[in-house]
Amino acid sequence: MQLVEVCTLDDVPVGSGRAFTVGGRRIAIFRVAEHDVYALDDLCSHDEASLSEGDLDTEELCVECPMHGSLFDLRTGKPRTLPAFAPVATYRSEVRDNRVFVEFSD
Ligand code: FES
């Protein structure tokens, strides 16, 4: 496992998501509170949509795919609604000072 710095908190305002390319992977970082972020694969499991461009629900901890509307759970990556049925990968993340780190397997 390796912990990789992805961005700063300032890059992702509270209540929003943004995608970053890290080690060839496109990762979506969602910031649900001041120091609380989630990291998922940015590519929807259903089609070619960027989850970071979807509407984020900070109460329900899910994001709505901007293309067909599936709701993805930020904690598990599993879709809560169709048409997507396969999960997207999630990554453990942590915030140190103002920096966001994501853990990747080697
Ligand atoms: S592309 Fe995401 S639900 Fe279809």
68 lines ligand 1 (CB under 6 A): yes
User: What is the fold, at CATH topology level, of the domain defined by 2-101?
Assistant: Rieske Iron-sulfur Protein (2.102.10)
Nearest residue to 29 via CA among 10, 59, 49, 6:
6
Q: Where are the domains of the chain?
A: 2-101
67 lines ligand 1 (CB under 6 A): yes
Q: Tell the burial category of 29 from Cβ atoms under 10 Å away from its Cβ (0-12, 13-18, 19+).
A: buried
In which band, very low, low, confident or very high, does the pLDDT at 46 lie, cut at 50, 70 and 90?
A: very high
Name, in order, each residue with C-beta under 8 angstroms of 83's C-beta and a sequence gap of 6 or more: 46, 68, 70
- pLDDT of 30 reads 98
- Tokens 């709701």: give the residue: 71
CA of 63 from ligand 1 middle (Å) equals 11
CA of 66 from ligand 1 middle (Å) equals 7
The pTM (predicted TM-score) of the whole model is 0.97
In which band, very low, low, confident or very high, does the pLDDT at 2 lie, cut at 50, 70 and 90?
A: very high
94 lines ligand 1 (CB under 6 A): no
Tens digits of per-residue pLDDT, 13-43? 999 999 999 988 999 999 999 999 999 999 9
